[in-house]
Amino acid sequence: MTVLKTSVLVLDCADPEPLARFYAELLGATAGPATGDGELILVTGDSGVVPLGIRRDRNHLPPSWPPPEDSQQAHLRILVADDDLDEAEREAVALGARPLAAEEDGSRLDDRTTLRRFSDPAGHAFVLAAVREDPAAHGGDR
């Protein structure tokens, strides 16, 4: 018998409350404390899926992006409908995301038509990725 499990991507930062609010606004979700874990805030979507956790790390140092060795780092990929990519970018920037130029991470400039790269207010990398189908079909909430 397989034991029921779930997983969540957790981002560490020095001040988790503002970062949790950033992602809750960006994802159209809510943020609140995790049951039984006083150090973790969960960003939860309307469907009840927990897409993201934010944890306090008083000694946190923001990640470098792109990494000096040009190695792949973990990043959050947020799926949006193809026609909504420009609006999703405006929302992210208005909430405090910092756009990363394609040349900063070694990508081609023409990739910008389907991917937009950012760092969140705490410096974590994330990507807005256009999909032709409904993003919810890929496991997204919106």
Positive or negative CA dihedral for 101, 75, 45, 130?
positive
For residue 92, tell me if it sits in a domain. Answer: yes
For residue 17, tell me if it sits in a domain. Answer: yes
Give the domain CATH number at 81.
3.10.180.10
Whether 51 and 16 share a structural domain: yes
Whether 89 and 128 share a structural domain: yes
Put simply, whether the predicted model's pTM sits higher than 0.85 gets the answer: no
Whether 15 and 45 share a structural domain: yes
Whether 133 and 80 share a structural domain: yes
Q: Which range marks the domain in which residue 127 is found?
A: 76-138
For residue 51, tell me if it sits in a domain. Answer: yes
Per-residue pLDDT of 16-51, as tens digits, reads 999 999 999 999 999 999 887 778 889 988 776 768
Q: How many separate domains does the chain show?
A: 2
For residue 89, tell me if it sits in a domain. Answer: yes
Per-residue pLDDT of 50-68, as tens digits, reads 689 999 988 888 877 666 6
For residue 105, tell me if it sits in a domain. Answer: yes
For residue 107, tell me if it sits in a domain. Answer: yes
Give the domain CATH number at 33.
3.30.720.120
